[in-house]
Amino acid sequence: MILTTILPKDIWSTFDLLPNPLKWDIFKGYQDHLGTVGLIAFCCSHNFVSSIFPAPNTSNKIHPAKEQTTTMDSKRVRYDQLPLEENSSPPETRKTTSITRRLIQGFLCVAVLASIIIGSIWAWSHKHPNLPQYIDCGSSTEEAISKNCVMEPMIYGWIPRECYFADLSAQYSPFEDREWYTDDTYTVRIPPADLWAGKNKHAFTHMYHSTHCFFLWRKLALGIARRADYLDDKSLDLEHSDHCSEVLDHYGGETSNSTNDVYLGFHRCERLAWV
């Protein structure tokens, strides 16, 4: 059992000699170290209940017999067993009582452990009641707005609020800190309000891709650190992450002449494995 590996047997023998209040102090001290399951193992493996509430001592009393004999080498004393007292029980009864006590202790240990497991499952189910596996924004700007989705500038797409990290997104303002255009000729500009409204299926700009990659990596790390219920599919996309690392590794980022064709996306939240 667990505690057998922690303390040697001779210490457990000493433990049985301690007064009950001190035993309880030691018992509570192990609770901080081992938790509830450790306490159950303590009770089951070391017969803790019996050590605090011992069975009545029904062992037969012995006393020196009146008759004594002496030999040449030493004095030998014979002991005769007294008859059973009126309230004492024979060995067979004591054996049955011992087995019954052990069965009761084992049943109590199993009952406590089962209660802990059932309670944990109940708490988990009430913390995350029927969370869906996916939450989407549809396939059009109108549908995304009707689903109460949010425009995420760093991926130029709609995402559900359940996986929108407002505090992280607030650190970036790509729609305002650079110019965006309707095509790759970079002649007709797109106002920030149109970008926020998702009016353009394509938008062109400079120096966007590297920041976009770093943002998604930060969001992934933040979601894991927070043990979030959901993350967006772009942050969880391994193929896209490989693409980002390849571009940054081979080209060392972007130059002022780099062009980015950004396509309006409709993303979904995916429930994480620990939820």
Residue 153 φ then ψ, to 5°: -60, -35
The residues facing 64 across adjacent strands are 79
Q: In this predicted model, what pLDDT tens digit does every residue of 48-78 receive, in sequence order?
A: 545 544 545 544 444 444 444 444 444 444 5
* 179 has pLDDT over 60: yes
pTM, 2 dp? 0.56
More confident residue, 50 or 202: 202
For residue 235, what are the contacts with CB-CB under 8 A and spacing of at least 6?
Answer: 216, 219, 220, 223
* 130 has pLDDT over 50: yes
Would you state the pLDDT for residue 34? 54
What does the buried/exposed string (b/e) look like for 163-186 if buried means 16 or more CB atoms within 10 Å of the residue's CB?
A: bbbeeebeebebbeeeebbeeeee
- Give the pLDDT band (50/70/90) at residue 21: low
Helix 209-225 and helix 238-251: axis angle, to 10°? 130
Domain spans, the chain = 1-56+94-127, 134-271
